[in-house]
């Protein structure tokens, strides 16, 4: 025993404390949930359906129950159809007295009348009929034959017979005939006791009738019991029994009623006291119903045969759930966080084993709540899967973070999900290429301490790259103090031009905010010049056998790089090519800037300044762009005076616009010294 305990303790010491804590807390929480769901007051609809299935399965497996000694005298359709009969005759005490006399003579054990007694002293029946009934009742008392009568509850109040009836028949012979119904209106159990607001206790009709047969019968524990619907009863028509009593056919009564309980009640189609039960069939009109008197007969048979369904005590049931759920969560303790453990199948297997155990126990009249148990085991399995998922994600994130220190997160994600990407060749893709240059880096490096310069550059890179990644950009490389990023590779992005422009605008805002903090701290400020171009590139893993880098190449990349330095010429911050402007114009406001010819290209191109998001552009900026565009058209038409006038109005709309000032100075120069006839307006740029 000591060795087993030491091994167990050693195993627990090796187990992850976090997993052990989750297992213990999960076991306690889920067992509490299962216990709460199993409480009788919960009344789960699905549990009722499962209970019905178990009742039918037990009935088919065990066969019909033994004879409980109960015979039903049914007030059926035949009784109501008697030519000489009427409702008054059926309910007449004289009729009941005639039948009771015959039952007493035949040696019936007890008689139970499943009908309420008259609630008032009003003379409903002839005095001689009532006298006959009192005489028959007194005869039954002398013969030791107990006669049980029923009454109903209306709300919290009992509708008792008239005081005269109660005095003569005795309160101890009155039992309530109300049947409790579940949410689906089925009758599965029977109440033993009922208290009125004055705390007077009344016994149930079924228990009183069963106790009249077996005086030693003790009530089952609790205030109700489940009815075992697998008895078959002899049943005779009330009208036929009455006629035989009138004809004095004592042999008939001795043959069928001697030593038995006779229960009289309504089973006709006019009877409104009928309910579906667990063994009811589903018909086109709904669930088949059973008359209340027959339900009471099954309840009496259940009590007399002691076929009482017992459930574990709440504490025992909770401890049982604790054990089951701890085993169901065992894979959490035994599995390796970095791999798949074969015991992962245990929780689903336990669901099947628990269902078989519940069926086996039900056949032996022990009720294990099936649905609460299965729900708790299923939740245990989901908890296991959730923990494994989180651990797998955490492990993948840890690996991803390690790779992200050296690779772009987008590429890292692709490598983790699709390692084959490392072996693929290059492919042509349309994308938007972005370059950013740290302006003034050279002068800063000459006058700053090395460590301070490294800290400042890292701060610059952190600020810029975080924005790029937030807008789903791929940081291709760092070239000295420059950043190269791409949208549209390695992951395809339909709106890559818009994302790239939004990222550039956000980078500019972040740098401006950062400069305020640096200025307050007495440190040098930063400035970034950015260029954007959209076009076809060659994307893939480029390099030697031992070292490769995922990158893009092509003319579109070179042009984006050239556009960065164009900002210095026009005193701007973000310049985009015409291809980028055309793709992003729906969401981004661009200002046409000039026609330029950059180093390395023969053809001229239109360039644009990225101004801002279309829904965030101020009226002043919109007015400035309008005048600037009109001025630029005049400029290319060689109307330098008209262009100057409109550039002046553009500057008035936004006085700090340095690009407008640049064109105004150029217009003034051309007014004084007009260009030659071969002038095409294209600006030749020598900056790389």
Secondary structure (DSSP) of 429-465:
EEEEEEEEEETTHHHHHHHS-HHHHHHHHHHHHHHHH
* Among candidate residues 62, 392, 506, 73, the one with its CA nearest the CA of residue 262: 73
- Break the chain into its structural domains and give their ranges: 15-50+311-392, 66-305, 425-615, 618-688
Distance CA 375, CA 361 (A): 19
What's the confidence (pLDDT) of residue 433?
A: 95
The pairing of strands 290-291 and 274-275 is antiparallel
Instruction: Give the pLDDT band (50/70/90) at residue 1.
Output: very low
Task: State the CB neighbour count (10 A cutoff) for residue 202.
Answer: 19
Instruction: Give the pLDDT band (50/70/90) at residue 11.
Output: very low
Q: Under 8 Å CB-to-CB from 399, ≥6 apart: which residues?
A: 416
What's the confidence (pLDDT) of residue 379?
A: 81
- Residue given tokens 């992005």 in the structure block: 493
- How many degrees, rounded to 5, is the angle at CA 273 between CA 164 and CA 98? 50
For residues 486-506, average pLDDT: 90
Q: Under 8 Å CB-to-CB from 265, ≥6 apart: which residues?
A: 72, 73, 74, 75, 113, 114, 115, 291, 292, 293, 294, 296
Distance CA 296, CA 265 (A): 10
| Structure-block tokens of residue 282 | 């589903």
Higher pLDDT, 663 or 284: 663
Residue 490: asked if its preceding bond is cis (omega within 30°), the reply is: yes
CA distances to 326, 333, 346, 348, 418 from 391, rounded to whole Å, are: 20, 13, 19, 21, 20
CA distances to 77, 416, 424, 495 from 420, rounded to whole Å, are: 81, 10, 7, 26
- How many degrees, rounded to 5, is the angle at CA 272 between CA 271 and CA 275? 105
Distance CA 169, CA 146 (A): 10
Instruction: Give the pLDDT band (50/70/90) at residue 5.
Output: very low
Q: How many CA atoms lie within 13 A of 404 on its CB side?
A: 13
What stretch of H or E contains 153? strand 146-154
Distance CA 629, CA 644 (A): 12
What's the confidence (pLDDT) of residue 439?
A: 81
Higher pLDDT, 661 or 379: 661
What stretch of H or E contains 501? helix 496-520
The answer, yes or no, to whether residue 9 has pLDDT greater than 50, is no
Q: What letter would DSSP give residue 685? A: -
What's the confidence (pLDDT) of residue 370?
A: 77
Distance CA 33, CA 375 (A): 9
What's the confidence (pLDDT) of residue 73?
A: 93
Distance CA 328, CA 345 (A): 9
The pairing of strands 274-275 and 282-283 is unpaired
pLDDT tens by residue, 420-470: 555 456 788 899 999 998 887 777 777 777 787 888 888 888 889 889 989
Distance CA 53, CA 47 (A): 10
| Structure-block tokens of residue 280 | 């009811």
Q: Under 8 Å CB-to-CB from 632, ≥6 apart: which residues?
A: 592, 594, 643, 663
Output the average pLDDT for the chain: 81
The answer, yes or no, to whether residue 402 has pLDDT greater than 60, is no
Distance CA 212, CA 216 (A): 9
Distance CA 427, CA 538 (A): 6
Q: Which of 236-250, 368-382, 529-543, 667-681 has the lowest mean pLDDT?
A: 368-382
Distance CA 547, CA 503 (A): 30
pLDDT tens by residue, 88-101: 566 688 888 899 99
Q: Using only the alpha carbons of the chain, give its radius of gyration.
A: 47
Instruction: Give the pLDDT band (50/70/90) at residue 55.
Output: confident
What's the confidence (pLDDT) of residue 396?
A: 62
Identify the CATH homologous superfamily for domain 425-615: Nucleotide cyclase, GGDEF domain (3.30.70.1230)
Instruction: Give the pLDDT band (50/70/90) at residue 418.
Output: low
Please, are residues 275 and 290 in contact by the beta-carbon 8 Å criterion?
A: yes
The answer, yes or no, to whether residue 415 has pLDDT greater than 70, is no
The answer, yes or no, to whether residue 406 has pLDDT greater than 70, is no
Helix, strand or coil for residue 597? strand
Share of the chain above pLDDT 70, in %: 84
Instruction: Give the pLDDT band (50/70/90) at residue 264.
Output: very high
What's the confidence (pLDDT) of residue 478?
A: 84
């Amino acid at each position: 025993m000591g060795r087993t305990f030491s091994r167990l303790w050693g195993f627990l010491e090796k187990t992850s404390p976090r997993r052990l804590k989750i297992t213990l807390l999960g076991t306690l929480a889920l067992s509490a949930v299962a216990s709460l769901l199993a409480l009788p007051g919960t009344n789960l609809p699905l549990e009722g359906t499962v209970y019905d299935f178990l009742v039918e399965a037990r009935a088919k497996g065990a066969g019909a129950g033994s004879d409980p000694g109960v015979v039903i005298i049914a007030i059926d359709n035949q009784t109501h159809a008697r030519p000489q009969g009427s409702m008054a005759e059926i309910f007449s005490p004289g009729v009941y007295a005639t039948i009771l006399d015959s039952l007493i003579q035949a040696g019936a054990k007890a008689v139970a009348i499943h009908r309420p007694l008259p609630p008032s002293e009003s003379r409903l029946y002839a005095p001689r009929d009532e006298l006959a009934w009192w005489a028959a009742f007194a005869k039954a008392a002398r013969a030791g034959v107990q006669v049980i009568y029923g009454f109903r509850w209306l709300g919290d109040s009992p509708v008792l017979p008239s005081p005269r009836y109660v005095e003569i028949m005795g309160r101890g012979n009155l039992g309530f005939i109300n049947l409790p119904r579940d949410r689906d209106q089925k009758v599965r159990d029977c109440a033993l006791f009922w208290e009125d607001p004055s705390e007077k206790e009344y016994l149930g009709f079924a228990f009183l009738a069963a106790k009249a047969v077996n005086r030693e019968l003790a009530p089952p524990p609790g205030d109700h019991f489940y009815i075992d619907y697998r008895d078959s009863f002899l049943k005779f028509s009330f009208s036929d029994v009455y006629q035989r009593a009138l004809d004095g056919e004592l042999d008939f009564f001795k043959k069928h009623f001697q030593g038995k309980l006779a229960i009289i009640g309504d089973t006709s189609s006019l009877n409104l006291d009928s309910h579906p039960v667990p063994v009811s069939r589903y018909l086109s009109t709904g669930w088949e119903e059973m008359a209340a008197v027959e339900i009471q007969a099954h309840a009496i048979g259940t009590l007399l045969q002691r076929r009482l369904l017992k459930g574990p005590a709440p504490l025992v049931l909770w401890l049982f759930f604790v054990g089951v759920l701890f085993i169901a969560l065992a894979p959490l303790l035994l599995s390796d966080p970095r791999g798949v453990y074969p015991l992962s199948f245990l929780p689903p297997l336990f669901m099947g084993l628990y269902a078989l155990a519940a069926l086996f126990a039900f056949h032996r009249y022990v009720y294990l709540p099936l649905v609460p148990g299965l729900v708790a085991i299923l939740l245990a399995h989901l908890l296991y899967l959730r923990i494994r998922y989180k651990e797998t994600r955490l492990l993948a994130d840890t690996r991803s973070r390690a790779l992200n220190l050296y690779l772009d997160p987008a590429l890292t994600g692709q490598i983790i999900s699709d390692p084959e990407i490392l072996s693929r060749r290059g492919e042509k893709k349309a994308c938007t290429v972005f370059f950013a240059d740290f302006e003034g880096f050279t002068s800063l490096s000459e006058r700053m301490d090395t460590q301070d310069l490294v800290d400042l550059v890292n701060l610059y890179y952190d600020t810029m790259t975080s924005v790029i990644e937030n807008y789903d950009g791929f940081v291709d490389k760092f070239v000295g103090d420059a950043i190269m990023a791409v949208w549209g590779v390695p992951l395809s992005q339909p709106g890559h031009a818009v994302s790239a422009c939004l990222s550039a605008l956000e980078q500019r805002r972040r740098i401006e905010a950062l400069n305020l903090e640096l200025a307050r701290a007495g440190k040098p400020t930063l400035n970034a010049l950015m260029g954007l171009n959209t076009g076809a590139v060659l994307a893939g893993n480029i390099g030697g056998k031992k070292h490769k880098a995922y990158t893009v190449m092509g003319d579109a990349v070179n042009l984006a790089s050239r556009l960065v330095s164009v900002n210095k010429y026009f005193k701007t911050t973000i310049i985009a090519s015409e291809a980028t402007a055309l793709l992003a114009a729906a969401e981004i406001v661009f200002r046409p800037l000039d026609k330029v010819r950059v180093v390395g290209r023969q053809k001229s191109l239109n360039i644009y300044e990225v101004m801002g998001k279309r829904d965030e552009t101020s009226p002043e900026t919109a007015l400035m762009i309008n005048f600037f565009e009109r001025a630029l058209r005049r400029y290319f038409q060689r109307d330098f005076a008209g262009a100057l006038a409109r550039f002046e109005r553009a500057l008035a709309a936004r006085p700090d616009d340095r690009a407008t000032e640049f064109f105004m100075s150029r217009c003034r120069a051309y007014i004084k010294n007009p260009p030659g006839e071969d002038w095409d307006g294209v600006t030749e740029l020598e900056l790389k």
